[in-house]
Amino acid sequence: MRKKFSFLSENIDFRRVNTQGQQALNNMKQLPSLQKCFFKPKIALTLQFFVYILIQFSSSLCEQIFYQMIENNMYCFDHIENKILNVCIADHQCQRKLCQDCAHNQQVSSEQLIPITNFPDFILRKMQNLVDANLQQTFQLKKKMTEIQKLLEKLGEQFQKCLSDSQKQIQEILNQINNGDQNYLRLLNYYIKPSEISSIDLELIIRSIHQKKLEQWIIDKKSFLNPITDMQCSIEQHFRDYLTTISEQLKVLLQLNVKIKENKNKNWQEGKIETKGIENNFNLWSLEYQVQKTSLTIEYNNDSEIIYIKDGVKLKKETIKNKLKSFNVIRSLDQIKCLEWSIRDDYNLNYEKCTALYTGEFFQAGGIQTKEGIKIGQWIDLSENFNKSSVTFYKGNYNQDKKVGVWDILIKDIIIGCGVYDDYGSKNGLWVDLHQNFSNNCKILQIGQYQSGKKVAKWEIYYNNLIIGGGMYNKGSKVGKWITLHENFQNSCLVTYSGEYQGRKFGRWDIIYQNEIIGGGLYDRKGQKMGKWIDVHENFFDYCFVLYEGEYVGGKKQGVWNLFMHENQIQTKLGEGNYNKFGQKQGKWVEPFDNFFKGGKIIFIGEYDNGIKIGQWLTYFQEQENQFQQIGGGSYDQNGLKVGIWKDLYEYFNYRSQIIYEGEYQNGTKHRRWKIWYNKFKQNDYQEIGAGEYDKDGMKHGQWIDFMEELSCRDSIYAVEYHHGEIQQKNKLHDLFD
């Protein structure tokens, strides 16, 4: 079988080859006609890549080559070059799966960190006895319910209506109890593999442990026995003489059913989580798409649904079909807004066919799955960052929901990478992987070896056909000299890090931008930053050349840190603040907007208390060469929650999209009426362009005149009818920039 593979602007036909590749390479280097080729980067790269394949694979394995992205859930979402080492079990909200840098940045104590390999034992110790007791309570409840069912059957025709209604209520109670129990059985049956747990599920597991939800669920179920037992005795004693009384007593089932439905201890997953998603935003200053992090709320409800929420609007709702299978939480805002799946359950009695729709159009993506959501056979999966500027797919076969065999990576119908999964669903052999930030306009690939799912030996990172980074792995851990990429590496953020790994970062590390060192510092033997450092802004790119300069002690920022902006080769101080001995921000701070850039120079001024924003915070904006002017702000309470009247900026506020939201917060949640203001470039005259109400849960409700972003890069004003965050109807009024 021949496979056409498009890579580095060359077309290579892969055929069966033997293992004499090394000798072939040596012979090629000795040929005068080819010696010059090895000094021409593009030709050398192609030759080396081709020979590399000859070396690595025997004739029986030649067709099994290359593949997709960083191993799911094994590497950090925020520090993509770092492997996840620990699970945080502290009683607070965080991403839970932490790499070495995350643990340092969040200042988590060692007592609150569980090595990821030890997490199954931790869960078993916490939950095993409780789950056993939980099942015993369920057995007793089921036993009582069965007794009542038999009793009711004796009432005959005279009680037929009551009997029918009662049986329905009992069945619903049993379903509700089973529903609750399955959530805890999932902890034992599935989450023995912590590497496969999503960060959202980890947050909810740890939260449920701290809130003692399973213990309370057991207590609650025990309390359910009492009203049922009382009802049974009452029926046995009075059913002949007190038919009316019995009918009234049977209403307990209805009340109990409602009580169980509303019981929040039934489901350890129930709750809302504030997290970060990614959005492909078009920057009007640089005139290109940029991958940026954005705020996102994930809600699990008791109806086995997951809801994606942003600014009080429910963007997407999905049903969790199989509770014993980890649900894949979507982080791409483009996919949340635009991706739908068409399900045809008439394909077979036991199976259903799934087909992807993006912005209402069918894509050649999808496959066959069971009614429980178990994928089988050939599938075309969308890449994790699939969007309008990254139309990438994975194509291969599933065996009982595990990827097996050769999987191709495609842009539309062109293969750009591929690789092999073994029978256990682990990557093996040589791979060509997509980088996390891959897009049609920023082609970043990674080439290297896997062994039973772990990266080994040499890995290289390619950008626009050139090697720009990489290094060596030893059993999944980085060793020796490495060049890694900035978390937001893309065409406008060509930032790399250069230094050494000894299991963790060690010694001098430089931050390099366009072949110049712009920052860096030292790591100690524990992999902690030490001494003077110059760090780059999290959203650094060509038009956001912002640096932080200060001191680290034991991996924690200490003392005064200064912020500088570079523009037209001139360095300007942008802000400053102080870190206390715990590495937390303290006192007055001047710091930049998350999406600060040349066309959106915004700073915040306010006070921190041990890392928590308190009191009044003001927002300032500099339009072109003018002085900074206050345009927003409000107050935080002692817990860091927004309270009272606020003027919030649009997430991507800039010189052309000067949009401000004004309204009231209660305990960090938007409440009552909010207005939307817009100022045209250079006019300094904000006009009201929209308004509407938030309900008590912070969800948009009722009639709104609302500002919405569109895929066409045009921002528009809509008349929208909301019901508790769900869009009931919307009509476009006009484009914002008409």
Q: pLDDT tens for residues 123-142? A: 777 766 666 677 777 778 88
Helices (H) and strands (E) in the chain, counts: 11, 39
C-alpha span between 662 and 678 (Å, rounded): 11
Q: Checking DSSP bridges between strand 687-694 and strand 669-679, what pairing results, if any? A: antiparallel
Cα-Cα-Cα-Cα dihedral sign, residues 730, 731, 735, 738:
negative
| CA nearest neighbour of 690 among 666, 672, 708 | 708
Dihedral sign for Cα 651, 652, 657, 658, please: positive
Of 421, 315, 466, 415, which is closest to residue 4 (Cα–Cα)?
Answer: 415
Token pair 């429980």: residue: 372
pLDDT at 347: 56
Mean pLDDT by 10 residues, the chain (738 residues): 39 34 42 39 42 39 33 60 79 76 71 80 72 74 80 69 76 82 70 69 78 81 79 72 70 76 63 82 70 85 86 89 71 86 74 84 85 90 81 92 94 90 93 85 89 92 92 90 90 92 92 94 92 92 90 93 89 92 93 85 94 95 83 95 95 87 95 93 86 95 90 78 94 79
Rounded CA-CA distance 59/519 in Å is 48
The three-point CA angle 116-120-125 to 5° equals 125
The alpha carbon of 121 is separated from its chain's Cα centroid by a whole number of angstroms, namely: 26
From the list 72, 194, 220, the residue with the least C-alpha distance to 124 is 194
Distance from C-alpha of 160 to C-alpha of 243, rounded to nearest angstrom: 12
In the chain, pLDDT over 70 holds for what percent of residues?
80
Give the global pTM.
0.69
Q: How far is CA 729 from CA 706, 720, 725, 735, in A?
A: 12, 6, 12, 18
Q: Distances from the Cα of 698 to the Cαs of 75, 475, 617, 702, 730, in angstroms? A: 34, 47, 22, 13, 20
Q: How many CB atoms lie within 10 A of CB 211?
A: 15
492/281 Cα distance (integer angstroms): 13
> How many other CB atoms sit within 10 Å of the CB of residue 84?
23
Alpha carbons 149 and 141: distance in angstroms, whole number:
12
Q: Helix 41-56 to helix 21-30 angle, to the nearest 10 degrees?
A: 150
Query: How high is the pLDDT of residue 704?
Result: 96
Alpha carbons 113 and 86: distance in angstroms, whole number: 6
Residue 404 is predicted with a pLDDT of 95
**CA–centroid distance for 483 within its chain:** 25
CA angle (379, 381, 387) in 5-degree steps: 155
Nearest alpha carbon to residue 270 among 323, 342, 339, 332: 323
124: CB partners within 8 A, 6+ apart: 188
CA distance 204 to 192: 16
Q: Strands 427-434 and 97-98: what pairing? A: unpaired
In this structure, what token pair is assigned to residue 82? 């770092």
Where residue 262 falls (left for φ over 0; alpha for ψ -120 to 50; beta otherwise) is alpha
Token pair of 318 as six digits: 């999905």
CB 426 within 8 A of CB 432: no
Whether 444 contacts 489, CB under 8 Å: yes
* Full DSSP string of 337-353: HHEEEEEETTS-SSEEE
Task: Give Cβ neighbours of residue 200 (< 8 Å, ≥ 6 apart).
Answer: 273, 275, 298, 329
List, as own/partner pairs, every contact residues 388-394 make where C-beta atoms lie below 8 angstroms and the sequence separation is at least 24, other chains included: 388/280, 388/334, 388/711, 389/280, 389/289, 389/439, 389/440, 389/441, 390/280, 390/438, 390/439, 390/440, 391/440, 392/416, 392/434, 392/438, 393/364, 393/365, 394/68
3-state secondary structure (DSSP) of residue 162 = helix
511 phi and psi angles, rounded to 5 deg:
-105, 120
Dihedral angle computed from the Cα positions of residues 300, 305, 310 and 313, in that order, rounded to the nearest 10 degrees: -130
In the 8-state DSSP scheme, what is residue 532? Answer: E
654-to-333, 595, 682, 706 alpha-carbon distances in Å: 20, 9, 12, 19
In this structure, the chain runs to a length of 738
The predicted structure's pLDDT at residue 711: 58
The whole-angstrom distance between residue 4's C-alpha and the CA centroid of its chain comes to: 34
Burial class of 696 by CB neighbour count within 10 A (0 to 12, 13 to 18, 19+) = exposed
